[in-house]
Structure 1
Amino acid sequence: MPTPPSPTPQVQALVSYLEHESQPMIVLDPDYNILAANTAYQRQFGTADRPYLGHKCFRVSHHYDVPCDQAGEHCPMRRAFELKGPDRVLHIHHTPRGPEHVDVELRPILDGDRQVVAYVERLTTVKHASARANQAGLVGRSPAFNTALESVQRVARSQLPVLLQGESGTGKELFARAVHEVSDRHGGPFVVVDCSGLPETLFESELFGHEKGAFTGAMHRKPGLVETAAGGTLFLDEIGDVPLGMQVKLLRLIESGTFRRVGATETQQADFRLVAATHKPLQQMVADGSFRQDLYYRIAAFPIYLPPLRERAGDIPLLVDSFLQRGGKAASTVVIQPAAMARLQAHNWPGNIRELRNVLERARLFADDGVVRPEHLPEWLHGRPHPLPPAAPATSASPPPAPARDVDAEIRRMVQDGQLSRREMAESLGLSERTFYRRLKALGLS
């Protein structure tokens, strides 16, 4: 075991100061050696069989033989040295409990000549996400997942509105809850408003509440979801579906922090942190006039991109293990054969994590002996098309069926012709832009 270097008086003074900190903190020299650690670090990351004093930080935290930047990761020490200032990064560290997401903030200690003599590193374990299979919450460790998680850590303690953007099924509500749980409002309510599930006639009443007699059927005063979220977080899910008429009132709520119940004359003060989410292209909707530009800029102060599952395919085994652990005591014994796992990893998952979860819940019902095999997976995971419902029987008055269209041939022809935009080509084929884009990628034309 290496002998820890003798700490200088400056380092000794640092250690004495760090003992008053509740967060785990260590002192490093410019050669990556851990010189000292406070009690909080020893309790959370140190064990009798896990020596760290005198060892390289990258060996202790990552089990690497070289510094992080030489192993393909961001090295906060390298960046802090270049900046002569602090740097922050989200890493996955090896801990006594296994791999964990850790928010690392590193600050250089400079002498009178502005030369780095040591570094102080603060480590915060991310509790709302897991780098191991887990029965609840966010799970992942891929670079794309970690980038989104790091953004959550950075913005959560501010009051900035957050806009979560990603395809359906990417876990937007879980990320919204993570923002809430890390924020200073975590003790308050987390209120979800499903903007796609509210008709325009009810939207204002649900959001702002109403007075008794405000409309037919309003038999008593009802607080709205904005009032319910007081002291906490208001999550507007699928905000791209908010009707234009309501967008004006939503903008006024966000700008002024006030609202009125339907049928009331008194103005109420709102008190919430706003998190919004959508799978729709809001910037394109602003351009075509279906979403207000001023509202967009209000809600998009801090956008976070949530990657689709195909961009974090390395997380699929971790997610599979997590989903198989969920659903009761019997679920903990369910395992998956390597051949079945290979089928899952080969799929493109247009429905993302929600689709993967549904497939596994179905497969579990067929795994009588607790083993998920390839034959327990849907047929379309074996390269076969989705089964279609049987066609209605033809009648004497029915016209003859139209000849089948060769959509791929039409796509090739239109791309070669080059006269239409991607959106126009999709519309002419009766496809959504997302479906059309997937066809382009499959044909090698993207």
Structure 2
Amino acid sequence: MRTVVERGAIATVTGPEYASGYVLVDNGRITDVGEGEFTGDAEEHVDASGCLVTPGLVNTHHHLYQWATRGMSADHTLFQWLVALYPVWGRLDAELTHAAGTAGLARLALTGCTTAADHHYVFPRDGGDQVEALVAARRRIGVRLHLVRGSMDRGESDGGLPPDHLVETTEEALLGTEAAIDRFHDSAPDAHLQIAVGPCSPFSVSERLMTGAAELARRKGVRLHTHLAETLDEERQCLAEVGCTPAEYADKLGWLADDVWLAHTIHLAPEAIRRFGATRTGSAHCPTSNGRLGTGIAPVRDLLDAGAPVGLGVDGAASSESGGLGEELHQALLQARQRGGPTSLTTREALWLATMGGALCLGRAGELGSLEAGKLGDLAVWDLTGLAHAGIADPIAALVLSAPPPLARLLVGGRTVVENGVLREEDESVIARDLAAASARLREDR
């Protein structure tokens, strides 16, 4: 099908900007981007007058299951928050995870996200098929999903934070991860579902799992992901246990490389930032979650200047309750300027983080992240005609500096997922009802 989005402001991200132009998508891929009137043939015409057209946003870090526990432990530090919530998450079953995953992906789509990375590391022994629950949620909403099969093998008795009944053995974790890759990973250029390997974090997994996961990912040709350098508590623990910082520990284990992206990376020494750049290790910057948990402000400007890919992440909805990706552009800009001054991040750099930066982190820069011929037809059409954006002449400034605009259209591979702020194929009220019931069931079981 040939679809043209026309008469809108076009932000290609890596190329020119057009005050009024068009994007043509044919058979799932962009075939033309230009200025002025579209004069060719198309089966579907989307009038983007008064709108800004951008690439679909890329979410580089999430925990979809946490949608069932939003608002809990509202005033805790990260370690306190984890200790309080692990017992609740230990009661997850596939039905609960599916309801939470569907709600989380729906919210992401409604805020401009066409590709999401979900780090799922909770596998209760009687929790059913957690991976399939999330894959089924993706099918319902229609966005692209990079499902990071996470793992934990270090429980409380081994000095970790999770309860012992919630962790796997090292062998179970590696076998379960390999099974997910074999069952679901799609290596095709237009893939809607890919699997990555993701031990939860250095303080909840063993060194053996970290090294085994890296070997598995490279043998299978998939990417690696974990949390790193999120808090000073983590740094103190790492120094006490292995005599080095989290970044040095990751480097020692082969976890700084161009097939790796790491969540948060807040507390990095200058040498670590240089190593991120030299190795092209990606960083998933999660500004709202970092602010909610008070973990600090990531050195985004320094990482970008060093040459490291940086994308944006919502993080789990239990530490970023809104769960929307569009608003993270605004938060990323504010935090960068709070850390380094008013020139530390521009509005266009904030948009780059949410698009091309995310595509680089996920290894999809050849297919996603910009509007140019040959790339996948993933587009967000932002309606700037309302009161919140009236009078802002620069449409990118309107997107980044004001409230997130409503979506006139969201396309994934040329297929409409959101139209006029409403999911095309799912009823938002049904999703919300199912999520509320799942969350209530978790609370009743406490």
Could you tell me the TM-score, scaled by structure 1's length?
A: 0.29
Could you tell me the TM-score, scaled by structure 2's length?
A: 0.29
Bigger Rg over Cα: 1
Question: Relative contact order (alpha carbons < 8 A, sep ≥ 6): 1 or 2 greater?
Answer: 2
